[in-house]
Amino acid sequence: MKTLLVCGGAGFIGSNFTRTMLQTYPDLRVVVYDKLTYAGRLENLQDVAADFAGRYAFVRGDIGDRALVEATVAEHGVDTIVNFAAETHVDRSILDPDAFIRTSCFGTYTLLEVARERGLRFHQISTDEVYGHIRAGASVETDPLAPRSPYSASKASADLLTLAYFVTYGVPVTITRGANNVGPYQYPEKVVPLFVTNALEDRPLPVYGDGQQMRDYQYVLDHCEAIDVVLRRGQLGEVYNVGTGQEIPNLEMVEIILNRLGKPRSLIHFVEDRQGHDRRYSLNVDKLSALGWTPRHTCQEAIAQTVDWYMANEWWWRPIKEGDFRAYYERQYGSRAVLGVGR
Ligand code: NAD
Ligand code: TYD
């Protein structure tokens, strides 16, 4: 692994991964390949561009553009592709699924074709959402996939294509299925940065339904370390779950945020639920632990550190919330019925 092509590297997890890999490995080169959708931002990488100028390059492009992917791989001597590129917000996939299918299905196929043609190592970033709603117990990697939103269905399709390229063509692939990530540079449509920034602005926190849905909120850098472990020590053709292994109810996440900011519970607005909302995700992470990885943060620590980052980095999120985001917010929440207020 000498030169990585990090697809989707200008987004939340991809930018954290790029930074930590360049910091950890002095001989590694990273080329970020990103379409710069609303979620992809060069601000996320501005320190990286300054600190690692000789070992970092940026190419703006769509992963579905085969000619540009091939040219980028050839020009930079890429040997490994790590694919973070995707449309990633479940609520947006309910409003408009089109781009989700294009990027995760056709885009991932395109990258796999280039990997096949050029003999590249390929790693796909997937999600616990491909297992669907988990009534009891915890998902293991061999469980059947049962995605229930356009987002998770598009991600499951990418997983199946990735595994098919291993079986059919022998492309050296691995997959990680991560739980919910939190940390620096997460676009404030996702629940934790949305709630932290709304609370800082004394705006309501729109909690879907009863707020008893269960999520495993892991710290983004723990996830990034896990991806690195799988790239180096993972078995080809295999899938690895990544999370703390402990899920908490959304209302506990909300309490951590409000307590840390010293804001009142009256900011909690229980609103009409998400369509097809998965009540619970739960990951068994034993397979990854056997490779020697352990998370460094609990859910509670991960959320608290994230609150601190958003408090200290208004320069990053305020311009986002004042821009196009407003139109999205109005469309998503404007006519949602409020069912109750926190006391
Ligand atoms: P993000 O939305 O912050 O970033 C996605 C990035 O992909 C953006 O930079 C965007 O510009 C880029 N992109 C989108 N379509 C593209 C295309 N067609 N070609 C090239 N670039 C494109 O997302 P994130 O939260 O950083 O998630 C990254 C990956 O991790 C995704 O594959 C997601 O499914 C997966 N994942 C996310 C979480 C989470 O909690 N955020 C959890 C598990 C897995
Ligand atoms: P989200 O960050 O969208 O991640 P995902 O749905 O992919 O897990 O949402 C996390 C949880 O928070 C999920 O149970 C839905 C809930 N949620 C709300 O209650 N209100 C909101 O405004 C959002 C965006 C999410």
Domain ranges within the chain, ordered by starting residue = 3-182+218-242, 191-214+247-276+298-341
Ligand 2 centre distance from Cα of residue 278 (Å): 10
CA distances for 91 relative to 7, 136, 152, 156, angstroms: 23, 25, 11, 17
Is the domain spanning 191-214+247-276+298-341 CATH 3.40.50.300? The answer is no
Residues 6+ apart with CB under 8 A from 115: 81, 121, 122, 165, 171, 173
Rounded distance between C-alpha atoms, residue 187 and residue 165, angstroms = 32
Cβ of 174 below 6 Å from ligand 2: no
- Only one residue has tokens 């100028």, namely 53
Please identify which of the residues 129, 228, 252, 255 carries the catalytic annotation. Answer: 129
Q: Which of 329, 1, 314 is nearest to 190 (CA)?
A: 329
69 in Cβ contact with 33 (< 8 Å): yes
- Residues 3-182+218-242: name the CATH superfamily: NAD(P)-binding Rossmann-like Domain (3.40.50.720)
Q: Which of 208, 330, 336 to mutate to test the pocket of ligand 2 (most atoms within 8 A of CB)?
A: 208
The mean per-residue pLDDT over the stretch 45-68 comes to 98
Rounded distance between C-alpha atoms, residue 278 and residue 123, angstroms = 26
Please identify which of the residues 151, 185, 219, 281 carries the catalytic annotation. Answer: 151
Asked if domains 3-182+218-242 and 191-214+247-276+298-341 share a fold, the reply is: no
- Only one residue has tokens 């209302």, namely 251
The mean per-residue pLDDT over the stretch 249-277 comes to 98
The mean per-residue pLDDT over the stretch 286-315 comes to 98
> Does the annotation count 247 as an active-site position?
no
DSSP state, residue 294: -
> For a pLDDT cut of 90, what percent of the chain falls above it?
99
Cβ of 189 below 6 Å from ligand 1: no
Q: What is the pTM of this model?
A: 0.98
**314-322 helix and 325-333 helix, angle to the nearest 10 degrees:** 70
**66-76 helix and 108-118 helix, angle to the nearest 10 degrees:** 40
Dump pLDDT digits (tens) for 228-252: 999 999 999 999 999 999 999 999 9
> Does the annotation count 128 as an active-site position?
yes
Cβ of 72 below 6 Å from ligand 1: no
Dump pLDDT digits (tens) for 78-118: 999 999 999 999 999 999 999 999 999 999 999 999 999 99
State the pLDDT confidence band at 323, using cuts at 50, 70 and 90: confident
Tokens of residue 121, six digits: 């190592």
Dump pLDDT digits (tens) for 23-37: 999 999 999 999 999
